[in-house]
Amino acid sequence: MSQFEQKTGNEYDAVIVGAGFAGLYMLHCMRKLGLSARVYEAGDGVGGTWYWNRYPGARCDVESMEYSYQFSEDLEQEWEWTERYAGQPEILAYLNHVADRFDLRKDIEFNRRVTAAVFDDTANRWEVRIGGDVVSAAFCIMATGCLSSTNMPDFNGIERFDGDTYHTGNWPHEGVDFAGKRVGLIGTGSSGIQATPVIAEQAGHLTVFQRTPNFSVPAHNKPMDPSYQEQIKSDYRDFRKRLKDLPIACMRPPGEKSALEATPEERAIEYEEHWQRGGLSFLGAFSDLITNQASNETAAEFVRAKIREIVKDPQVAEMLCPDHVIGCKRPCSDTGYFEAFNRSNVTLVDVGKSPIKSFSSTGLDTVDDSYELDCAIFATGFDAMTGALEQIEICGKGGIRLKDKWASGPTTYLGLTTVGFPNLFTITGPGSPSVLANMVTGVEHHAEWISECIRYVRLGGFERIEPTVEAEAAWVRHVNEVADETLYPTCNSWYMGANIPGKPRVFLPYIGGFPTYLKKCEEIVAKGYEGFILN
């Protein structure tokens, strides 16, 4: 029996939640299978992450030629990227182009936030609630994104603040004019690091409130070299194949040698070359930067020396030097971040040492000082990987809530499915490479895996598919084992859920490498969906 009052009577083969990279391609795949699918999207346009994150300076840190769909050769050939790293407006334009080119909009409902999804154990269908409406689908596919549920810390007295407030993950579409304003920016992750230099150029004064300094490597962004674009396009299949064989499905092959096998001079040359090339492949300079603390320290010290070289005031430079393992918080790539602190209109405040006490009507007070502000920007990140899923009331067999099942941390089989929730799929869910690999490649792989799985279910005359308890437990064990071989668990990062008070401390993505993961997924299919119950 339905627990919802049926208002629309709409029935689909699949409901897809979200119209970002994942939801758009999932819809395309469902259509190719000849199935009916409906996408529900909370925003008023496509784009997901690239729809919401419109803060000044928002830009991808995977190169444009790598950060794009590969399912359509025509699309690959016709789209022209204009910069080495695409900015948010260009990626959003690309996704709008995809939506139009493949005529996807007619099956997408915008401004429609999914609030609940309940499995009907008798009918083997999901009842999905969107506001007051309910639709029914055999399969429910969560394309809700890994970094889409914003984290707004509970700052004391924030309601008293008379100035404007903004979150980088939910930026006003019309933009913000900071000219002449006293701007406060809280948070120095990728978003804060990208926004700082751009806002510094506009604002009267910018105060950056930093709790933990972060490592960042220059992006060295530049206009796209047409001959490079041409060269990739003439070899796109092989180029994509080579990338898929890399641990993170993008960038350059990592070094084969331990940092400790190199002499200090060799290390300096290698790090300098990576620094000059720019971008996140810096961490691939040697083979063991993320597994060996002593090796890691050589890279960390190189970056700290660069910060000391760039930032003129030695005290400010020291405040900007991180003391954690490089890479265990998501590394950042910037355009003029450290340089921004040489400007006379930029101040750095260490709220790690002197925490934010409260907001007042005119600004904010730390334990030691008061700051007058016209507006405050929260670059405070996301409830990563699980936040968007847990915001939806998802109930599986016997009414079990996903939120309750995951109370001590998410448990999945392949990051795609979870016991107790038949016919529910999570694209780039926890326990999959997701945020540790090229997101577009990960999304495409998952959408194709899911559509192949649905085809198998339908062709076999089955009505539902669900992982076994044993398969899920073994996968969760494996995900934890590979994480424990790295330095990742050593610091407070959103990878560990450590940025959200009360969130269980578990390493959320799978770090076994994209090729290993692909192989595992293929083997499971080849063995007739090993680890799944079909009935």
Residues in Cβ contact with 360 at an 8 Å cutoff, skipping those fewer than 6 apart: 157, 160, 161, 370
Q: Applying CB under 6 A, does 167 fall inside the site for ligand N01?
A: no
- Segment interacting with ligand N01, rule: CB under 6 A, options 22-30, 33-41, 188-196, 456-464: 188-196
Rounded Cα–Cα distance for residues 331 and 328 (Å): 8
Question: Which residues, numbered 411-470, are part of the site for ligand N01 (CB under 6 A)?
Answer: 435
Query: Please, what is the minimum distance in Å from the beta carbon of residue 369 to ligand N01?
Result: 15
Asked whether 446 and 416 are in contact (CB, 8 A), the reply is yes
Which 189-208 positions form the footprint of ligand N01 (CB under 6 A)? Answer: 189-192, 194
The nearest distance, CB 450 to ligand N01, in angstroms, is 23
For residues 413 and 425, the answer to whether their CB atoms sit within 8 Å is no
Q: Is 188 in the site for ligand N01 (CB under 6 A)?
A: yes
Please, what is the minimum distance in Å from the beta carbon of residue 384 to ligand N01?
7
Residues that bind ligand N01 (rule: CB under 6 A) add up to a total of: 27
In the bound state with ligand N01, the residue whose beta carbon lies nearer, of 363 and 467, is 363
**Binds ligand N01 by CB under 6 A, chosen from 72, 124, 202, 212:** 212
Please report which helix (H) or strand (E) contains residue 153, including its range.
none
Identified binder of ligand N01 from the candidate list 282, 413, 488, 494, rule CB under 6 A: 494
Q: Are 430 and 412 in contact (CB under 8 A)?
A: yes
Taking CB under 6 A as the rule, does residue 327 contact ligand N01? Answer: no
With contact defined as beta carbons under 8 Å apart, do 387 and 88 qualify? Answer: no
Torsion angle of the four alpha carbons 94, 96, 97, 103, in this order, in degrees rounded to the nearest 10: 150
Window 364 to 383, contacts with ligand N01 (CB under 6 A): 379-382
Query: Nearest approach, Cβ of 165 to ligand N01 (angstroms)?
Result: 14
Q: Which stretch binds ligand N01 (CB under 6 A): 1-9, 37-45, 53-61, 310-318?
A: 53-61
Span of 38-46, 55-63, 118-126, 296-304 interacting with ligand N01 by CB under 6 A: 55-63
Does 324 bind ligand N01 (CB under 6 A)? Our answer is no
Helices (H), 11-153: 21-32, 49-52, 73-78, 88-101
Q: Reading across the β-sheet that carries 370-372, which strands appear in turn?
A: 356-359, 363-366, 370-372
Buried b or exposed e, range 233-259, using 16+ CB within 10 angstroms: beeeeebbeebbebbbbbbeebbeeeb
- Minimal CB distance to ligand N01: which residue? 189
The verdict on 157 binding ligand N01 (CB under 6 A) reads no
Does residue number 335 form part of the binding site for ligand N01 (CB under 6 A)?
no
DSSP structure string for 255-270: PSS-GGGS-HHHHHHH
Roughly how many angstroms between the first and final C-alpha of the chain, as a whole number? 20
Any contact of residue 87 with ligand N01 (CB under 6 A)?
A: no
Residue 330 binds to ligand N01 (criterion: CB under 6 A): yes
Give the integer Cα–Cα distance in Å for 285 and 273.
Answer: 9
Crossing angle of helices 293-310 and 264-277, rounded to 10°: 60
Nearer Cβ to ligand N01, position 75 or 152?
A: 152
Chain residues that interact with ligand N01, rule: CB under 6 A: 59-61, 147, 153, 168, 186-192, 194, 211-212, 330, 351, 356, 379-382, 435, 492, 494, 499
